[in-house]
Amino acid sequence: MAFDLRALAVATAGFSAFVNLYSPQALLPELSREFGVGAGEISALMTASTAAIALTAPFTGALADVLGRKRLITAAAFAVVVPTLVMTFAATVPQLVVLRFVQGLLLPPIFTVAVAYVGDEWPAADVPRVAGLFISGSSVGGFSGRFITGAVADLLGWRVSFVAVALLTLAAAVIVVTALPREKRFVRSDGFVVSAWQTLAHLRNPRLLAIYAVGFGVLFNFIATFTYVSFHLAGPPYFFTPTLLGALFATYLGGSLMVPWVGRGIIVFGRRRFVLGIMAIWIAGASLLLAPPVAAIVVGLTICATCGMVCQAVSTGYVLTTAKEGRSSAAGLYASMFYIGGSAGAFFIGFVWSATGWTGCVAAIVAVQAAMAVVVALKWERSRI
């Protein structure tokens, strides 16, 4: 039972972070209309939080290597409720952007440190499976944040939708603080300076750099795909409402079902071959997004979500088994590159959207996926753990 509760707490930590991170995504077209701004400008709500995460994640990891895991996870899980509630009073887009930035500052102590907790507290052979459970909780959080905000916005307005997210976050924080045991195998760093030096050492590890490059591409593709497909489907001839746009993120649930099997896939095929196969399927799914029928787009989104989450689960586990010391800082650097990729996906694809529309967006997404596959083929080692 203790193992089950511990795994539940780890998955819930992922839920609490990602229910906040992605909550505005289904609302972007509505917020764009209400505030009278374009798609690129309102997408700053996504860029602000991912940029904040990218800036602070490595330092969070170094701090956790000194202070410990549970203390930071639980404090941040409660603290993030505050900016989420304050968003309900925002009167301008810049105010929303600032609050989203504050949210982003508080998220790395939740998910980065939770990932390091997994690396410390489970045997290496179990890390891919438990990392998969963490990704499952994260994907359910991402879906919940998007779907619930869309549905509540249609019924009660977008401001009330953020109240709903705050209440979900508070409930998740209570679960984490009660179900997550204090770390038992954590080895405290000798100090923040030593931990920071370990962070720099990770940047000299070619294997870790190759993993970080894939992490960059994963969130680049997620943010680019799911942000701009909302604008694509909110316009003619589809005219999706916020509820329908939020429902699109049910495609995330396919990934939630698949990622617990990641460990088995690595054992059967080997890590590099497994990921290359997943990326080939991912490119095929992204290509489906160009088809006009909504059904084809939904299938494509499901494939994209599932393949992206599988790649994320493999990469997360690979970081933890590659970094022998300073796992929090290694995970923090991975998170930083992951969210730099997300910021790039929101920012640069905005220009592509303005210049070439949805067709150009999909072409750019496929190009980044192909580049990721090249990195894996050339730089990832052959391994079955």
The per-residue pLDDT for 152 is: 93
Query: Does residue 46 belong to any structural domain of this protein?
Result: yes
The per-residue pLDDT for 284 is: 97
The per-residue pLDDT for 2 is: 44
Query: Does residue 385 belong to any structural domain of this protein?
Result: no
Helix (H) or strand (E) holding 91: none
Q: What is the pLDDT of residues 231-256, one digit of tens each?
A: 999 989 999 988 888 888 788 777 76
Average pLDDT, the chain: 85
The per-residue pLDDT for 140 is: 86
Query: Does residue 272 belong to any structural domain of this protein?
Result: yes
Q: How far apart are CA 234 and CA 242, in angstroms?
A: 8
Query: Does residue 186 belong to any structural domain of this protein?
Result: no
Q: How far apart are CA 252 and CA 276, in angstroms?
A: 21
The per-residue pLDDT for 283 is: 97
Rounded to two decimals, the pTM is 0.74
The per-residue pLDDT for 329 is: 72
Backbone angles phi, psi at 80, to 5 degrees: -70, -15
Where in the sequence is the domain holding 77, given as residue range(s)? 2-177+192-379
Query: Does residue 150 belong to any structural domain of this protein?
Result: yes
Other C-beta atoms lying within 10 Å of the C-beta of residue 366: 18
Query: Does residue 185 belong to any structural domain of this protein?
Result: no
Q: In whole angstroms, how far apart are CA 282 and each of 288, 338, 379? A: 10, 18, 20
Q: How many domains does the chain have?
A: 1
Query: Does residue 318 belong to any structural domain of this protein?
Result: yes
Higher-confidence position of 262 and 174: 174
pLDDT band at 1 (very low <50, low <70, confident <90, very high): very low
* CA neighbours closer than 13 Å in the CB half-sphere of residue 224: 34
Q: What is the pLDDT of residues 30-73, one digit of tens each?
A: 899 899 988 878 988 988 998 898 888 777 766 776 777 888 89
Say if residue 184 is exposed, middle or buried (CB neighbours under 10 Å; 0-12, 13-18, 19+). Answer: exposed
Query: Does residue 327 belong to any structural domain of this protein?
Result: yes
Q: What is the pLDDT of residues 91-138, one digit of tens each?
A: 999 999 999 999 999 998 888 788 778 877 777 777 777 777 887 888
Higher-confidence position of 332 and 348: 348
The per-residue pLDDT for 192 is: 54
pLDDT band at 193 (very low <50, low <70, confident <90, very high): low
Q: Is residue 160 predicted with pLDDT exceeding 70? A: yes
For the domain that residue 30 is a member of, what is the CATH number?
1.20.1250.20
